[in-house]
């Protein structure tokens, strides 16, 4: 068991969670794959992974009232990290093959299909790291591993004079899309840090470093 902060990985039925658990442990966290509500709320950090269709991930999350857990943590200022579709569901809605599904609504906007000659976007891409990003500190020139056909392609939150503006990181595959967001206690990446080699481990370590002791 690691000596680092306790990080819960939300076990709601999404595939490919074990690579995320392993990467978080390598990055220094004490990781638990769990749906225990008490443990999820007590953890220093919560990771919401996600693969597959937006609507299917939302169905699985709703089945365990996962959105309620995410909302309660964020309302209390407790860190949450979404990965891939776990990032996408933080938006108001996803539109896939003409069908619309409601997301968790933590951010305004929608997730739509990439306008690119080839989809899915699968492979290594550089990102345009946001100025002052804590996730990408020391990683501004690194590449990360993406596997997706859909993404958020606009940012709809206007800056507030008394609140630190979100750090929004972009990438491009055909159209420009949001690769990562750091918005108060809620952070998310469209790429898979757990599949991104040493750069991904370093990014997870940066996130773990922001967690409360």
Residues with catalytic roles: 84, 192, 194
Would the CA dihedral through 191, 192, 195, 200 be positive or negative? positive
Q: Are 66 and 56 in contact (CB under 8 A)?
A: no
Which region, left, alpha or beta, applies to residue 169 given φ > 0 means left and ψ of -120 to 50 means alpha?
Answer: beta
Query: Helix (H, G, I), strand (E, B), or coil: what is residue 70?
Result: helix
Q: Are 50 and 87 in contact (CB under 8 A)?
A: yes
Name all contacts of 153-160 with Cβ < 8 Å and 24+ positions apart. 153/112, 153/114, 153/177, 153/178, 154/109, 154/178, 155/109, 155/181, 156/107, 156/108, 156/109, 157/107, 157/108, 157/183
Which region, left, alpha or beta, applies to residue 49 given φ > 0 means left and ψ of -120 to 50 means alpha?
Answer: beta
Measured CA to CA, the distance from residue 129 to residue 136 in angstroms comes to: 7
């Amino acid at each position: 068991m690691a000596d680092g902060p306790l990080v819960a990985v939300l076990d709601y039925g999404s595939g490919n969670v074990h690579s995320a658990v392993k990467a978080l442990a390598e990055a220094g966290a004490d990781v638990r794959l769990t749906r225990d509500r008490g443990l999820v709320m007590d953890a220093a950090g919560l990771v919401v992974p996600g693969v597959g269709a937006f609507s299917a991930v939302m169905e699985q999350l709703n089945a365990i009232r996962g959105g309620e857990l995410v909302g309660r943590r964020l309302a209390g200022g407790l860190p949450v990290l979404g990965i891939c579709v776990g990032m996408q569901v933080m938006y108001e809605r996803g539109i896939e093959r003409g069908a619309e599904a409601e997301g968790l609504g933590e951010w305004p906007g929608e997730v739509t299909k990439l306008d690119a000659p080839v989809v899915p976007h699968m492979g290594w891409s550089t990102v345009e790291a946001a100025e002052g990003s804590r996730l990408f500190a020391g990683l501004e020139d690194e590449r990360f591993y993406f596997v997706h056909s859909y993404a958020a392609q606009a940012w709809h939150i206007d800056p507030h004079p008394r609140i630190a503006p979100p750090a929004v990181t972009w990438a491009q595959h055909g159209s420009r899309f949001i690769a990562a967001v750091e918005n108060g206690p809620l952070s998310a990446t469209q790429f898979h840090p757990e599949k991104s080699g040493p750069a991904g481990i370093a990014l997870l370590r940066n996130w773990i470093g922001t967690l409360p002791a």
